Amino acid sequence: MEERTGSPQVPKKGKVKPPWRAEGLPGTPGGRPKINWWRFAVTLLVVYAAFFFVSSFFDSNQVETVSYTEFTKQVNGGNVKEIYATGLSVEGHLKSAAKDPGSGNQSYTDFRTEIPTFANTDQLSQQLNAAGVEIKAEPLTSGRGFFLNLLLSLLPVLLLAGLWIWIMRRGASMMGGGGLGGLGKSKAAKPLEAGQVRVTFEDVAGIDEVENELVEIVDYLKDPDKYRRLGAKLPKGVLLAGPPGTGKTLLARAVAGEAKVPYFSASASEFIEMIVGVGASRVRDLFEEARKVAPSIVFIDEIDAIGRARGGAGGIGGHDEREQTLNQILTEMDGFSGAEGVIVIGATNRPEVLDPALLRPGRFDRTVQVGLPDQAGRTAILGVHSRGVPLDGAVSLDQLAKTTPGMTGADLANLVNEAALLAAKRGKEKVGMADFADALEKLQLGAARSIVMPEDERTRTAYHEAGHALLGMLQPGADPVRKISIIPRGRALGVTLSTPDTDRYAYDEKYLRGRITGALGGMAAEDVIYGVITTGAENDLEQVTMIARGMVGRWGMSAKVGPLTILPSDGQPQASPATLAIVDEEARRIVDECYADAVRILRENRDKLEGIVAALLEHETLDEATAYGAAGLAKS
């Protein structure tokens, strides 16, 4: 599903044409952030006061506060050079550094002390004069002054303010505006000019029926007056539901590309934050940007992340962030604000969990199922993805499509890429059918592991895989066996691959019983040959249990339970313990009957089983023709 480059469109003179596409949540690209000046002023004053208060405890000169006893000791020792006295407070300098016993023998030369009221000041004056101490009328340690204090205290605040504004502007350029770190604001849209990459319906293949449902929306966006004259209204929303990899995002982009309207793309998880209300704010920003360039398309991927049904046990009432975001989306799509000219396209893999208010007409008016492509669709998808890949003349895309049932568009794109990688690794100029076959084998069976198994383990694995294959060959209506391998791949020691010739959409009881019998073939073969059962059947038993319980509890294929849904595909069992016990009993009965059939068929066709085993031990991997030939059977 490649993207084609269209011709650039020149905007009209004097008008700036808005970008036709924007990825991520919108913001104000290129604009400056809005600053809350009240908050900034309050913060500035608080920080200034804190720095001013702290700076008052520091002085450029380190003045030691000493006791009066220490002061008189230095005076009597003739070590005091000069002093300044204000009332009973004395500051001074020593001739040489001394140590103060009261502060841990810390060395000092400048000191400050207080004269006790009972001290004899006349005697102290005589001692000072006798020691030759100079007494001054001015302070010895003048302070910094008011303006210097103000400057030094404002400097850190100015630095902090500059850093704050720089971070905010940097956040604006990276995230399209918002406060510090962009919290609570939308992430910036990433514009793509109209002349750049554009996707159209020519890049979408294999889902023609879905395209037909979306063509009407494209036609409306191109010529809305044609519909308005007849009173038709633009659909508010389209929900694309289907398995992963089926092309839901590509379809949304193709609609925007065909209609040549602005396109905003966002994942639902981008709206969710820890702080309640942030998601709702981002939704408002997104729709506000979309309305500015209406008509436009808003694509929300994985919408079930925020659109789940409300009132579940996981929420915290109306204050839950996810519910707040969902409520805002509901309001924007069909509320008082209105969203004229804005079409919302949502994508989800689980439409059954969405809130009913989201799916009603007026919000998502249409639900379009995007299913797996059929054989013709797979051929078309392979053609799209192999456009830029040089293919060998022997490559048949039709044949490849037949061997890839159940694959999505993403799987097929990966298949083409893996085949191209293998061809390049092998030094080829073109990608051949063998490269596709090996790439498909790698994707379906897993990468081969280079381990050496003991011979007895290898033989046991051959019997196990031969049991699967032979039962698949002999069961009426079973899927044909495509490949058998005893080369360890992934977690498996061996693999048997069976795929149908044509796409199947419904399965009867006979086919499902055949699937169970074939899945039990490996365990049955080990039982017939060795009389033991190993752990190699773990994955087989998981499939058997799932099919058998589905037959009884979901599809009404048990007369004892009847046509009831006891085991829904999503949710808790809807039945009493007694009914669930009957379901388990019936599932066990079906599996026991199928296992007995598997053992009987293998014993009756022991020669065919041995033929497949001998071929596997010799070649390790058998394709379809070789496998049927080794069993002495013709493909039906």
CATH number at residue 77: 3.30.720.210
Same domain, 248 and 279: yes
Same domain, 484 and 573: yes
Does residue 545 lie in a domain region?
Answer: yes
CATH of the domain at 473: 1.20.58.760
**Residue 33: cis peptide before it, omega within 30 degrees of 0:** no
Does residue 69 lie in a domain region?
Answer: yes
Which tokens is 603 given? 């014993």
Domain-terminating residue out of 305, 334, 369 = 369
Same domain, 230 and 207: yes
Same domain, 247 and 319: yes
Instruction: Give pLDDT, residue 583.
Output: 93
Does residue 3 lie in a domain region?
Answer: no
Domain-terminating residue out of 394, 422, 445 = 445
Instruction: Report how far apart, in Å, the C-alpha atoms of 525 and of each of 56, 68, 185, 545, 559 are.
Output: 91, 105, 64, 19, 31
Same domain, 216 and 121: no
Same domain, 317 and 243: yes
465 catalytic per annotation: yes
Instruction: Give pLDDT, residue 56.
Output: 58
Same domain, 206 and 169: no
| Domain count for the chain | 5
Same domain, 211 and 265: yes
* Sequence-distant contacts of 615-623: CB under 8 A, at least 24 apart: 616/462, 616/465, 616/466, 616/484, 616/486, 617/458, 617/459, 617/462, 617/486, 620/485, 620/486, 620/487, 621/483, 621/484, 621/485, 621/486, 621/487, 622/483, 622/484, 622/485, 623/482, 623/483
Same domain, 364 and 381: no
CATH of the domain at 407: 1.10.8.60
The 3-class secondary structure across 107-139, one letter per residue, is: EEEEEEEECCCCCCHHHHHHHHHHCCCEEECCC
Does residue 361 lie in a domain region?
Answer: yes
Closest residue by Cα to residue 82 from 101, 100, 109:
109
Does residue 4 lie in a domain region?
Answer: no
Same domain, 136 and 165: no
Same domain, 480 and 611: yes
Same domain, 225 and 257: yes
Burial class (CB in 10 A: 0-12, 13-18, 19+), 92: buried
Does residue 400 lie in a domain region?
Answer: yes
Does residue 2 lie in a domain region?
Answer: no
Segments in the chain below pLDDT 70: 1-37, 40, 44, 47-48, 51-62, 137-153, 168-198, 272-278, 311-321, 335-340, 570-571, 635-636
Q: What is the pTM of this model?
A: 0.62
Domain-terminating residue out of 394, 410, 445 = 445
Q: Which domain holds residue 289?
A: 198-369
State the catalytic residue, choosing from 64, 258, 332, 465. Answer: 465
Does residue 39 lie in a domain region?
Answer: yes
Residue 245's region, left for phi above 0, alpha for psi from -120 to 50, else beta, is left
